[in-house]
Structure 1
């Protein structure tokens, strides 16, 4: 049960943000809400009213967000949090599903993390580069055969990470098309609520059956490796579902939105096409600049003093990753996309014990996919005006629903 919000002094409640700023500037699809920058400049940690009436906090400064993410006095348990999003499906969040590392604390989190950490090392993920290159090339070949115009999300940004996560989880080749279709349907804006629920349910059942199959007949993949541990069948399936969700939607949207950003900044796209030397820094800068996993929440387990404020036990703190990654106190000229920048220290993958487990895989997929795309199609461009690109403004993971692109000679 959540603790009741205690009374606060006049100093604590002097400035109260009445809702989480979510409206992005018109015509600036890559910029965070302007109100976040204004708040960060005034005070990186301010009081905020949540949609359910809870009086909690909003953190926008880089150092503040980083400190909260690293502090074990702040919990990641969903059931202790208040949602900052107006119109959220749940006023009170349910506990995390079995296997969901993002919504639990130690010791449960530590146990799962230790079982998975060795499977996502830098070395192991870089060994997958050749396979990512092959998958990317196959889909670029298909784009070329199809000819312009194509939806880059459907043709490339979604299937590349989808097929990689299929391989990591050991999804049989015969099932991969249905697997990818169900995964895409969950976030398809044209899908009805019933269709999305059916796809989500079907995907959960599929992963559960896959986990049982690996238990009976292990192969060379992560799920099979995990069958040798003390995980229950429910935990094995839950971790498989978590890896699927964590490894697909985020990377797919980084490839899609990253391409949109590069096409909107021709000089940066030209720099990326010039050679692979810039590929690594390009990935880090796009992660910082776009910050697609834009908002998180923590719950204080005890009273915590931070930035001259007293956060009381039971209060929720919303952390704005997108504001933190645009903090001029940490990054020079943060509103500019600069692929030559050393964007180390960005918080796109989080920080602390919950820092993204699959970040090295995401880096490999982004580096290969973007470099290959802009090399194969040096004259790639949007097939619609920028303002007509449908954005995922309603989702916890920002991105594009579709990205119509074309190439070749422009019509006269």
Structure 2
């Protein structure tokens, strides 16, 4: 059995909190050089809020497109054709203007106005999941019965992915994001995902539906290559359910450990929006996003970094920077945490942020009102955190009511 790799500093947590070593880096020099996963080159780790925003907002000096995917030299390799195919349509792998061309086609589908049209359907999906939990009886694993199915069904309907495939793509996504996988397993699961998404897009091209993939084919079929369609669909499917799922699970646990704030979310509709923002900031489930590469010599936090160096931003450290927000280690839903970088910043700011917010805004109060006596069904120290994952969360959340 392959031994799990050591987690990079920015991915290490003590339950909800970034490890003390990461916060010490932020509060001293703000930058340190760290090893990266999968035997890649070392990277400069950027930890302060203002520095992280600077890196994320400047695609000219800090490039996504120049960052190569590094694999262990002794592991299996993708062919050049495979690499080009898998890069196509992946907006996070491009800088403007290539990134702008792709994003412009999708932006109208993710506006706040468009998301509001989805709100009634999201409400129905949430209530149906709660009905299922109630019928099955207590205890329940809230990850398996609520946090994962709700965003999965939403994104399936939005994209036109058969919901019958959910177990298959959820299992595959879990492996894609599992940073403890061997090089062989990583390559295999990426190829599996490519095969599935190719089949899905071919079916949509033969009979475009009213969903997002169908829209892209009808309205932008002449502007997008087949590989770009596959890449866009893959990115939206993975990002569209895995992130919100982890926020729902981890956010529920955070509220259970702060019962006075849980009661505010349950009983006061005005508190739901600020609660969602504070949970996003305080939990920061996305550790860093895509590494950047310097295109010229730069100076950050008084340190000169040469051209061609890899940079990784630590979103949990930035979101808990006392230079950004007072008493950052305390969860306080009354402040709403405006300006957090949980969704990133700049041109790569999360396209699906309005959808994620809508789902959380609907799901949290609905869950807490349906089960006003919601409580953990296991001792607090037995909750299983999903440590070796590119998106932080819980493996399970056993609850009773």
| Structure 2 length-normalised TM | 0.87
Contact 1:182–1:200 (Cα < 8 Å) also in 2: no
Deviations 1:153-198 (A, max 9, x none): 1101111111111111123xxx312x21012213278xx9899987
Deviations 1:258-283 (A, max 9, x none): 11111111111111111211111111
Aligned-CA RMSD value: 2.8
Among 20, 36, 56, the residue aligned to 2:9: 20
Match of 2:51 in 1: 64
Match of 1:35 in 2: 21
- Higher mean alpha-carbon deviation, 385-394 vs 134-143, is at 385-394
Among 155, 167, 185, the residue aligned to 2:157: 167
| Structure 1 length-normalised TM | 0.85
* SS of 2:32 mapped into structure 1: strand
After superposition, the Cα gap between the structure-2 partners of 1:103 and 1:89, relative to the gap in structure 1 and judged at 3 Å, is farther
Shift of residue 213, structure 1, vs aligned partner: 2.5
Please say if 1:213 is aligned against 2:208.
no
In structure 1, C-alpha distance between the alignment counterparts of 2:93 and 2:337, rounded to whole Å: 28
Among 210, 213, 216, the residue aligned to 1:223: 213
- Higher mean alpha-carbon deviation, 342-351 vs 293-302, is at 293-302
Contact 2:56–2:345 (Cα < 8 Å) also in 1: yes
- Between Structure 1 and Structure 2, how many residues are aligned? 377
Among 235, 238, 245, the residue aligned to 1:252: 245
In structure 1, C-alpha distance between the alignment counterparts of 2:193 and 2:35, rounded to whole Å: 36
Contact 1:299–1:317 (Cα < 8 Å) also in 2: yes
* SS of 1:310 mapped into structure 2: strand
Contact 2:10–2:314 (Cα < 8 Å) also in 1: no
| 1:237-316 paired onto structure 2 within 5 Å | 237-296=230-289, 297-316=291-310
Among 148, 151, 156, the residue aligned to 2:141: 151
Among 69, 77, 85, the residue aligned to 2:65: 77
Shift of residue 97, structure 1, vs aligned partner: 2.6
Structure 2 gap ranges (5+): 1-6, 78-82
Shift of residue 77, structure 1, vs aligned partner: 3.0
Whose helix proportion is higher, 1 or 2?
2
Among 129, 140, 144, the residue aligned to 2:130: 140
Match of 2:3 in 1: none
Structure 1 gap ranges (5+): 1-17, 408-412
In structure 1, C-alpha distance between the alignment counterparts of 2:208 and 2:271, rounded to whole Å: 40
Shift of residue 203, structure 1, vs aligned partner: 4.7
